[in-house]
Amino acid sequence: AQSVSQHNHHVILSEAASLELGCNYSYGGTVNLFWYVQYPGQHLQLLLKYFSGDPLVKGIKGFEAEFIKSKFSFNLRKPSVQWSDTAEYFCAVNRGSSNTGKLIFGQGTTLQVKP
Amino acid sequence: GAVVSQHPSRVICKSGTSVKIECRSLDFQATTMFWYRQFPKQSLMLMATSNEGSKATYEQGVEKDKFLINHASLTLSTLTVTSAHPEDSSFYICSAEPGLAGPSSYNEQFFGPGTRLTVL
């Protein structure tokens, strides 16, 4: 079965530290990849997405992610985090060849940024 | 644009009663809506896919007779939790996917703020 794995469950960083959150998926076909963020008390928001083209994708708020097909990975990065980045981060995968937008989510990573 | 609302935002009910949750796409037509369930500190688990005018497709392990989904229009889907029990207490989230004429590209979903259900 298709699965999405996020290796870091809880990450604590100080402001200005660099961030990398891992995401691996198991599906071998064409995929669409997403990172969502859920700030405390708020709904899920799309940070960035990859459908095709340049594997280095830039999103909102200074986030970026790199799709490495050979590693089945789509890691999220930010060079310098801020206290306001404290949130839950979810990686999600959709089968690109399907006719539905069915998303499979990873377990989520809680990021805590200390001021 | 691309706003999805849910109503109510939180509901408390007694065991054995039914609860209806609405999901609306406010500024676009959603050919497909999805219903997720999120347990505390866990990920979203897809419950069902709802297409306007047709029966919902349920994920394995989700009881279709317990979680009734109706997608009667291109802007509204409802989830009814029938005969709710304490184990149904959870955070229910919907998302909506625009049709090809919508505000964004295919496969992007827009999420509602969620509904916290507590069954006593």
Mean pLDDT across A31-56: 91
Give me the pLDDT at residue A43, please.
86
Q: Are B44 and B37 in contact (CB under 8 A)?
A: yes
Minimal-distance CA residue of chain B relative to A49: B108
Tracing tokens 């961030």 back to the chain, one arrives at A19
Give me the pLDDT at residue A97, please.
57
Q: How high is the mean pLDDT of chain B?
A: 89
Paired strand residues for A95: A31
pLDDT score of B53 more than 90: no
Instruction: Give the torsion through C-alpha atoms of A57, B114, A105, A112, to 10 deg.
Output: 70
With residues binned 3-state (H G I as helix, E B as strand, rest as coil), the percentages for chain B, rounded to 5, are 0, 50, 45
Give me the pLDDT at residue B48, please.
94
Give me the pLDDT at residue B106, please.
56
Q: Which of B110, B22, B32, B107 is nearest to B74 (CA)?
A: B32
Note if the bond before B86 is cis, omega within 30 degrees. no
Phi/psi at B109 (5° precision): -110, 150
Give me the pLDDT at residue B51, please.
86
* pLDDT band of A100, cuts 50, 70, 90: low
Q: How high is the mean pLDDT of chain A?
A: 91
Mean pLDDT across A75-100: 87
* Residue B112 to residue A42, Cβ atoms within 8 A: no
Higher pLDDT, A41 or A93: A93
pLDDT score of B115 more than 90: yes
> Chain A interface residues facing chain B, Cβ-Cβ under 8 Å?
32, 36, 42-46, 49, 51, 90, 94, 96, 100-108, 110
* pLDDT band of B4, cuts 50, 70, 90: very high
* Residue A102 to residue B34, Cβ atoms within 8 A: yes
Minimal-distance CA residue of chain B relative to A98: B107
Range name among A33-47, A85-99, B54-68 with the lowest pLDDT average? A85-99
pLDDT score of B83 more than 70: yes
Q: Which residues of A touch B33 (CB under 8 A)?
A: none
What single DSSP character describes residue A106? -
With residues binned 3-state (H G I as helix, E B as strand, rest as coil), the percentages for chain A, rounded to 5, are 10, 50, 45
Q: Which of A3, A5, A100, A112 to mutate to test the interface with B (most CBs of B within 10 A)?
A: A100
* Residue B45 to residue A105, Cβ atoms within 8 A: yes
